[in-house]
Amino acid sequence: MRFDLYDSCFSQKKNTAYLIVISNIVLRGRHRIVLLDQEGPNYITWFKRQSSEIKEEWQTSLDHSIESEALEPAKFPIAVRDDSPENTQTSPPTVHLETAVRLANNPYRIFLENDGSDRDFVFTYSNQQQLKKLRTLEKEGLLRFENCGGITELPRKIQQYVAKHPLNSINASAVFDCDASAPNQPSPQSNAATAACTEAGVEKFRLNRRAIENYLHPSWLNTWVNENRTRKARKLGLYKAFCGLSRDQKAHFHMKDGLSKDKEAIAQNTLTLYNNVSQENRRKLNSGFGARIAELYAKDWIQEKDHFTHGDTWTEVNGIVTRILALSR
């Protein structure tokens, strides 16, 4: 957010604490502050009263904001003034300084179905600069991954958060699966999550593939399958059959449970995506890679990998990361 400070923000001594807090948050990596009138009488009086240390930090914060705005403009301007009523419906919204500080201090929330593997998934599809930024913001308490306990709970968690303050909607995003067993057929639960985000005004990012497991690179699966003899004996046939699938089949295959998850739809011929797969390979694909396959994203050899910056998976998911970081400024 970009907080545009009017001269009235400097009219009371008690506001000094708020101003110090918001300048500190800027220096820690989030938001910008813009001084609308450097010659304002309240500002001149306030600035003269401050210690040399506060003056230095304040000016550094202003300079940092100017530089950051020039390179990466904040997406949401907020008018901050204490001489008029708050109005979140105007463009830009108008709030008092105390409210502005609360908003600035509120971490940017990324709502996920489950925060463990889903968080690692976001990290995996971040380049080194983005990963450093995400981890820094998270460590500083300025960004938070919110575990919703599944896609059915995600709408409720978002609604609860937005209900706390009208401007919370611009301080959050949601990333969730489409749960589609075939292209362009998202599940009712996924559609409900999409509708909830739209209604709440929260930026939504629905994955094109069925789930985060469908974004695991084949080479990572190959390494995992061959890590030990027992797994290799159980999963090598499945892995080879999986590699023989088409792009759409791989994208919508239920990675945890395999074709057994969709057995009724396949039997009733309402899911025809695998009709050209041989009976032998269907047998191998009947069971998936297991309930914990998404934990692969937490592996050191994936997290510390040389990033592959090509292909549709990278383009899609890294695009989400890029957009989230832009929204969190």
Average pLDDT per 10 consecutive residues for the chain, totaling 329 residues: 97 95 94 95 96 96 95 94 95 96 95 91 93 94 94 96 94 97 97 97 97 94 92 95 97 98 96 97 96 92 64 92 95
Read off the pLDDT of residues 98-149 as tens digits, 9 standing for 90 and up.
Answer: 999 999 999 999 999 986 899 999 999 999 999 999 999 999 999 999 999 9
Q: What angle do CA 123, 119, 25 make, to 5 degrees?
A: 80
pLDDT at 222: 94
Q: Looking at the structure, do residues 7 and 45 belong to the same domain, yes or no?
A: yes
Tell me: do 123 and 207 sit in the same domain.
Answer: yes
Q: Both 161 and 240 in a single domain?
A: no
Q: Which two tokens stand for residue 150?
A: 């599944």
Structural domains counted in the chain: 3
Query: Closest Cα partner for 181 from 280, 299, 288, 42?
Result: 288
Helices (H), the chain: 15-27, 41-49, 52-71, 97-105, 115-124, 128-139, 154-164, 188-200, 218-225, 229-243, 247-252, 263-267, 279-285, 300-303, 311-327
Q: Please give the helix or strand (H or E) that residue 110 lies within, else none.
A: strand 108-112
pLDDT of residue 167: 95
Residue 118 lies in a domain: yes
Residue 302 lies in a domain: no
Instruction: Taking the CA atoms of 310, 311, 313 and 315 in sequence, report the sign of the dihedral they define.
Output: positive
Last residue in a domain, options 85, 105, 125 = 105
Residue 303 covered by a domain: no
Residues 199 and 235 in one domain: no
Q: Which of 155, 165, 202, 154 is nearest to 328 (CA)?
A: 202
Query: Same structural domain for residues 58 and 187?
Result: no
How far is the C-alpha of 108 from the C-alpha of 274, rounded, in Å? Answer: 41
* Residue 271: inside a domain: yes
Distance (Å, whole) CA 176 – CA 129: 23
Do 287 and 238 contact (CB within 8 A), yes or no?
yes
In this structure, the number of other CB atoms found within 10 A of the CB of residue 216 comes to: 21
Cα–Cα distances (Å) from 161 to 2, 274, 299, in that order, read: 21, 41, 32
What is the residue range of 15's domain? 2-105
Is the domain of 130 the same as that of 180? yes
Q: Are residues 184 and 240 in the same domain?
A: no
Residues 121 and 191 in one domain: yes
Do residues 189 and 178 lie in contact, with contact meaning Cβ atoms separated by under 8 Å? no
Q: What is the pLDDT of residue 272?
A: 97
Bridge partners of 2?
Answer: 32, 77
Co-location of 98 and 143 in the same domain = no
pTM: 0.92
Q: Are residues 125 and 182 in the same domain?
A: yes
Q: Is 72 among the domain residues?
A: yes
How many residues does the structure list for the chain?
Answer: 329
Cα 58 from chain centroid (whole Å): 30
Residue 22: inside a domain, yes or no?
A: yes
Cis peptide before 73 (omega within 30 of 0): no
Contact 40, 10 (CB under 8 A): yes
Residues 200 and 117 occupy one common structural domain: yes
Within-domain flag for 301: no
Between CA 82 and CA 288 the distance in angstroms is: 59
Instruction: Give the residue from 71, 105, 139 where a domain finishes.
Output: 105
Here the CATH number for the domain that contains residue 121 is 3.40.50
Indicate the residue type of 152. Answer: T
Domain membership flag for residue 33 = yes
Indicate the residue among 105, 127, 150 that finishes a domain: 105
Percentage of the residues of the chain whose pLDDT score is greater than 90:
91
Provide the 10 A C-beta neighbour count for residue 139: 10
Listed in sequence order, the residues at least 6 apart from 75 whose beta carbon sits closer than 8 Å to its beta carbon are 1, 170, 326, 327, 329
pLDDT at 309: 58
Report yes or no: 26 and 61 within 8 Å, Cβ to Cβ. yes
Residues 317 and 196 occupy one common structural domain: yes
Interatomic CA distance for residues 94 and 170, integer angstroms: 14
DSSP secondary structure letter of residue 186: -
